[in-house]
Structure 1
Amino acid sequence: MDNIVTFLGAAFALTGSPGPNTLSIAAAGAAFGARRSLGYMVGLLAGMIVVMSAVAAGLTSLVLAIPNMLQVLALLAVVYFLYLAWKIATAPPIGEETAAGRAPTFPGGVFLSLVNPKAYAAMGALFSGFTLAVADPATDAFFKIAVLTLVIAAVNLAWLSAGATLTRLFRDPLANRIVNIIFAALLLLSLLPALIR
């Protein structure tokens, strides 16, 4: 039982701290509202399930063993983060539905999770640092994925709600633009630690 409590504490700390996924869902909530961002949030969660499965199976080590693969993945991440930050920063205030104001989508959420360096680092720490089912590695991995899926869903809902609350507070178009630009900048800054390594 102690392992589960410690695991949950670490899970909330690692998945709930500001990072690309959490900041992007808060930014989507601020820029597009909670309802329009739900598909994106579900995509982030689906992508994280793929990341967790890859980490649990050891596939990330195999992929990163390919020459220059880390650089290719980093470039993909940077390009997508720039695109997402641009969409968030230039999103019109909620209520001004335009073609330019389309909210991020389910596939975009999946893609962001797959190219998010923090996701792999956090899952690597959680999967290697804790054992929840001693007798069977497959059961251990399954249990970790199930618990982490619930934790990440709760964390994402909290960040989405926080972002949407900011938009409701700042209905003024100028204030809304400032909030969107701040979130876009924070999203790009969250990528820096992974790129500096």
Structure 2
Amino acid sequence: MLTFAVALFFLIITPGIGVLTTAGIGAGFGAGSGIRFLVGLFIGTNLAALLVVTGIAAVVLAHPIIGPTLLYASLAYLLYLAFRIGWAGSRVAFIERKSAPGIPGGIGLQLINPKSYAVNTTLFSGFHFMAENPTLEIAIKFAIINVIWIPVHLTWLWAGVSLKRLDLSPRTQSVINKLMALSMVIVVVLAALPAAR
């Protein structure tokens, strides 16, 4: 169980679409908007995990037409987000919008996030510690995931809100945007490689 928790921590804390977007919303719109987005992201994370645990994700993604279509559509959208972040101008807002995406945006983002499915598949198909009671093991894994997920994502939100408070030069803010965009592209590519095989 400890190995599972440690692996989970490192899988979640590494920059992914969810945490980078959370930081961006915190930087662009403040803590309140970030919390609303996080609620949606939290729901989406658990829905994606449920789709993995029930096997629905595997069945859908294994379909010769639906699977690749969903994969490439989500990759295209996430790369579009990375482009928007990288060229958001000289203000750390990560995404130029008039309003924050809110709860529906968080749910939607996590449901199309390839990293979410890759991480959940790794966590639920490996790290067995209760082979005699797989249902209880799954319930405990959900609990551990959420206990670690919440503070990690709140930390990224705090980092974004803190960035907003700094009086950074326009050039520095532009560099931060481009680094975040590059991080998103790397995460999208790494998450998509196993799914594309």
Question: Residues 86 and 38 of structure 1: is their aligned pair in 2 closer, same or farther, counting only changes over 3 Å?
Answer: farther
Provide the residue aligned with 2:70 in structure 1: 73
Provide the residue aligned with 2:110 in structure 1: 113
Percentage of matched positions with identical amino acids: 34
CA distance in 2, matches of 1:92, 1:42: 28
Provide the residue aligned with 1:164 in structure 2: 161
Q: For 1:139, which of 136, 144, 156 is the aligned residue?
A: 136
Provide the residue aligned with 1:52 in structure 2: 49
Residues paired across the two proteins, number: 191
Provide the residue aligned with 1:27 in structure 2: 24
Shift of 1:82: 4.0
Asked whether 1:194 is paired with 2:191, we answer yes
Shift of 1:31: 2.5
SS of the residue aligned with 1:130?
coil
CA distance in 2, matches of 1:48, 1:37: 16
CA distance in 1, matches of 2:34, 2:84: 13
With normalisation by structure 1, the TM-score equals 0.82
Structure 1 runs, 4 residues or longer, greater than 6 Å off:
none
Instruction: Output one character per residue of 1:130-185: Cα deviation in whole Å (capped at 9) or x when no partner.
Output: 22433322221111112101211121111111122222223555544443343234
Provide the residue aligned with 2:3 in structure 1: 6
Root-mean-square deviation (CA), in Å?
A: 2.6
Question: Residues 154 and 6 of structure 1: is their aligned pair in 2 closer, same or farther, counting only changes over 3 Å?
Answer: same
For structure 2, list consecutive stretches of 5 or more residues without a partner in the other structure: none
For structure 1, list consecutive stretches of 5 or more residues without a partner in the other structure: none
Kindly indicate whether the alpha-carbon contact (under 8 Å) linking 1:132 and 1:144 is maintained by their aligned counterparts in 2: no
Provide the residue aligned with 1:90 in structure 2: 88
Provide the residue aligned with 1:148 in structure 2: 145
Instruction: Output one character per residue of 1:48-94: Cα deviation in whole Å (capped at 9) or x when no partner.
Output: 10111111122222112211223212222134324534554538858
Shift of 1:6: 1.3
CA distance in 1, matches of 2:30, 2:89: 11
CA distance in 2, matches of 1:57, 1:78: 23
Q: For 1:36, which of 29, 33, 43 is the aligned residue?
A: 33
Q: Partner letter of residue 140 of structure 2?
A: F
